[in-house]
Amino acid sequence: MLTSLSVRNLAVVEDLALTFDKGMTSLTGETGAGKSMLVDALSLVLGDRADSNMIRHGAERAEVEADFSLEHNSVLSKWLIEQELDDDEQCHLRRTINRDGRSKGYINGRAVPLVLLREISERSIDIHGQHAHQSLVRPQTQREIIDIVAQNKPLLDELKTVHREWQALQQELETIQQRSDEQKARQELLQYQVDELDALALTEHSINALLQEQTQLANASQLILAAETGLQRIFDDEQAAAYDQISSTLTGLEKLQDFEPRFASAVETLNSAIINLDESATELRHYLDHVELDPNRLDDIETQLSLLHELARKHHVEIEQLPAHYQQLSDELATLSSSEMQQAQRRQAVEEKEKICRALCEKLHQRREKAAKPLAKQITDSIQQLAIPAGRIEIQVQRYSDNRMTETGADQIRLLVATNPGQPAGELVKVASGGELARISLAIQVVTAGKRSVPTLIFDEVDVGIGGSVAEVVGQHLRKLASSQQVICITHLPQVAAQAHHQLQVNKKHLKDSTHIEVDKLDKVQRVEEIARMLGGVNLTQKTRSHAEEMLDQAQQ
């Protein structure tokens, strides 16, 4: 619960420190005394938007601090531990606003982003503003009411996560499908090109072999002539064959090398030459024995090469690059084929995630339907006590007609009201007057407040527009809530203020050069005076004081 609040240099507040107790506390004071300024300060320390214009005139910085007890708030305690912001079972918040527009937030002395202050708010306090009834006509507010009562927050959190994952998968699938449509023509072309090249079974070796054979056949006559001429000069020429001349020279040197040892090296070289000439002659004979001048074979090869050159021109590559190009096309085709597989996998993932979403939406629908009738009866009972004796509330939970899902479910929630006997229930905005809408809103806030998990509830003049016995009923409801939660109520009604366990009086003091706010904690005698002022205005009588004392005594029974 909220244990203390201190405010410095915020608007008309110069320096103010308050402590709060368990039970119900009422804040009262003259109209315009600054009661709601305390709620504004609390909203700031809990992460609301700040403005440098809120800083007190003449000051450079405004500062708000608040302390929350963790004694009965395990949710907040656990969150602080998870964020590594825990500090000896305390939760101390601080917010500063500087004249230059900078704003800083602190939790237990550590600087934090403002979003973490707002998360503290979600786990510690609910503030009901005096204009809350204006949002009651919104479908979102009506849905939130039933979800609070049905305690659907864990389920909603799960659905929100899954729904966003589902939407992300849908977006990915749409992107893949768009890309797939664009690539379909490319894939068909690639398949044709790959099939065309695949039929030729091209390899770098086979192309080189064809080119070499084509060159050989095209130059076959020259090759044969060169081989025959070489063989003639090496071996077959009876008068000048190289083999015979070297053999004769070798024979002469061998005979004389016993006399001239230096001939040995020349003999060895000539021996090698003889061997090499013999081998060359053998190779040339073998070539001439097996060479074929087949003009049909040359035609076949040139036909094949013409086809390959045509393909190479079509693909804008050299003929030798066709095998590598074929591999490149095959790889691209495989990639596009895997894209189709990826699309199928994404489609399956979307379907599975959608199935989970629908299951969660169905759970929400069942929980909302289960909570709707008891909640409608509770609100009906409450508004009948708040001067709408024939009032009746109905809550409709209907699935969207177009079968859509959102991160809050697949239901349309409608809160309908009838205010006169025999009148069919209709939409709030069409049936209820402004005063009735305010009382219905108050009834809903009182009924649902006890269902909220936060330990502190603040009601900021939510009783505007009611009075008399109705105001007393409101006060009794708030006091009843205070048996399980801390209730802080800013009110101008004595019937509500008298029901509080504690009372704070807010006064605005006008000094010579400035204005500031003071807040006093009232004892029993002071409470009688304040309640009497609220009852009777400026001129208080003993009768008014007696009435005030009686109201306080009856409330404490």
CATH number assigned to the domain with residue range 1-124+455-473+484-522, chosen from the 4 options 3.40.50.300, 3.30.465.10, 3.30.70.870, 3.40.140.10 = 3.40.50.300
pLDDT range class, residue 301, cuts 50, 70, 90: confident
- CB-count burial class (<10 Å; 0-12, 13-18, 19+) for 475: buried
Cα(66)–Cα(3) distance, rounded to whole angstroms? 8
Question: Who wins on pLDDT, 464 or 357?
Answer: 357
Domain borders along the chain are 1-124+455-473+484-522, 183-337, 525-557
Question: Measuring CA to CA, how many Å separate 469 from each of 71, 294, 378, 459, 530?
Answer: 36, 123, 19, 19, 19
Say whether pLDDT at 185 is over 80: no
Mean pLDDT, range 260-287, rounded to an integer: 85
391, amino acid identity: G
Mean pLDDT, range 3-19, rounded to an integer: 91
Best mean pLDDT range from 99-108, 247-256, 360-369: 360-369
Mean pLDDT of the chain, nearest integer: 84
Please report the pLDDT score of residue 339 as a whole number.
61
Question: Who wins on pLDDT, 117 or 335?
Answer: 117
Please report the pLDDT score of residue 450 as a whole number.
67
Please report the pLDDT score of residue 199 as a whole number.
63
Question: Who wins on pLDDT, 322 or 8?
Answer: 8
Cα(480)–Cα(346) distance, rounded to whole angstroms? 54
Best mean pLDDT range from 115-129, 338-352, 447-461: 115-129
Please report the pLDDT score of residue 373 as a whole number.
95
Please report the pLDDT score of residue 315 as a whole number.
78
Mean pLDDT, range 503-511, rounded to an integer: 85
Cα(465)–Cα(467) distance, rounded to whole angstroms? 7
pLDDT range class, residue 330, cuts 50, 70, 90: confident
134, amino acid identity: Q
Mean pLDDT, range 320-343, rounded to an integer: 74
Say whether pLDDT at 338 is over 70: no
Residues comprising the chain, all counted: 557
Residue labelled with tokens 């894209």? 339
- Show the tokens assigned to 534: 């609220």
392, amino acid identity: R
Say whether pLDDT at 130 is over 80: no
pTM beyond 0.85, yes or no = no
Question: Who wins on pLDDT, 419 or 360?
Answer: 360
pLDDT in tens, 136-162: 788 888 998 999 999 999 999 999 999
DSSP state of 55: B
Is the separation of the CB atoms in 397 and 413 below 8 Å?
A: yes
Say whether pLDDT at 85 is over 90: yes
Question: Who wins on pLDDT, 258 or 376?
Answer: 376
Mean pLDDT, range 192-220, rounded to an integer: 71
- Show the tokens assigned to 395: 């809550």
Please report the pLDDT score of residue 245 as a whole number.
82
pLDDT in tens, 463-499: 776 777 788 888 888 898 888 889 999 998 999 999 9
Question: Who wins on pLDDT, 412 or 259?
Answer: 412
2, amino acid identity: L
Mean pLDDT, range 372-383, rounded to an integer: 92
Q: DSSP string covering 72-85, please?
A: T-HHHHHHHHHTT-
pLDDT range class, residue 300, cuts 50, 70, 90: confident
Is the separation of the CB atoms in 60 and 97 below 8 Å?
A: no
Please report the pLDDT score of residue 509 as a whole number.
78
Please report the pLDDT score of residue 357 as a whole number.
96
pLDDT range class, residue 400, cuts 50, 70, 90: very high
Please report the pLDDT score of residue 96 as a whole number.
94
Non-local (6+) Cβ contacts of 100 within 8 A are: 52
The answer to which of 209-218, 244-253, 273-282, 360-369 has the lowest mean pLDDT is 209-218
The answer to which of 31-40, 169-178, 207-216 has the lowest mean pLDDT is 207-216
Please report the pLDDT score of residue 114 as a whole number.
92
pLDDT range class, residue 50, cuts 50, 70, 90: confident
Question: Who wins on pLDDT, 508 or 533?
Answer: 533
